[in-house]
Amino acid sequence: MKLHEKSNQNDLQVSFQLKNFIMNNPVMLASGVVGVHPDILPRVAEAGAGAMVTKSISMNPREGYRNPTVVEVESGYVNAIGLSNPGVNAFSKELATLKEKPIPIVVSLFGSTPTEFSDMISRLESSSVDCYELNLSCPHVEKVGLEVGQDPEAVSSIVKIAKKFSSRPVLIKVSSNITDIVEIVSAAKDSGADGVTAINTVRAMVIDIETGRPILSNNVGGLSGPAVKAIAIRCVYEISQKVDIPIIGCGGITHWSDAIEFFLAGASCVQVGSAVAYKGLDVLGEIVDGIKKYMNNHEIKEIGELVGRSHSYQ
């Protein structure tokens, strides 16, 4: 496995490689924020992202929760969309109609049993997927996501079967809402996971003080945006300290400087979600440009020089 492989010219080294999954820059669009249709890929590429993660897909179609499903709070959003998606069969048909694929596509999957994951992967293997991200961390849907993602044995069985059926790299996406994030990531790594995305949204709730009612139809949702950045940094740092696995940092990245902080904590690349909702897709390219300028100003040739640098201060 090579991270931040050297390229030509005097260009700064910002690529990211995980086996045969290669990104020209370390900034991905995070899962879920721009909806479920893969045909947005060319626009995401044009905006400057290195890769795109799809909304999470399940074996069968899911309607999700009724409105309201998203509420804006100070420094972020709380959402409980309920993992609405058309199901793997409809999704793979849509994927097959993608005419151009200028950047790699990571398909996010969720399910409640190992067999659901292997069935979904089997159906997707003949399509143009570059990597799978197993969403073991959605904080507001019962029997999937966090309910499986906090049990090391369940995580291990899901990762093992996913690796058995997949010819592409497999990432797991973890939550901060677990007692020991290191235990879960270690179980995933020992079972063959190629990388970890940290973190998903953080369990949260908002109440309307006039009516006294919780605002989201599901009552509880997941907090995202700048409000969760410091939690995500702590998670990346702890994983990087204890587990030797590529980390994709996610949570509250709005500005290039946030991405740098994630690299210093131990991430090799990053995902951006909520910032796209309030600043538009162009924020992805702005973050990439900012990272390059920072590296130039600090005479850093490759991102690898930054990754985990904060660990030397213990």
Ligand X SMILES: Cc1cc2nc3c(=O)[nH]c(=O)nc-3n(C[C@H](O)[C@H](O)[C@H](O)COP(=O)(O)O)c2cc1C
Complex with ligand X: residue 187 or 275, whichever CB lies closer: 275
List active site positions.
Answer: 138
Complex with ligand X: residue 12 or 136, whichever CB lies closer: 136
Token pair in block for residue 204? 């949260």
Complex with ligand X: residue 3 or 70, whichever CB lies closer: 70
Complex with ligand X: residue 33 or 303, whichever CB lies closer: 33
Q: Which residues form the interface with ligand X (CB under 6 A)?
A: 30-33, 55-56, 70, 77, 79, 81, 83, 108, 135, 173, 200-201, 224-225, 228, 250-253, 272-275
Name the minimum Å distance from CB 4 to ligand X: 22
Complex with ligand X: residue 173 or 189, whichever CB lies closer: 173
- Using CA atoms, how far apart are residues 54 and 92, in angstroms rounded to an integer? 12
Name the minimum Å distance from CB 284 to ligand X: 11
Name the minimum Å distance from CB 132 to ligand X: 12
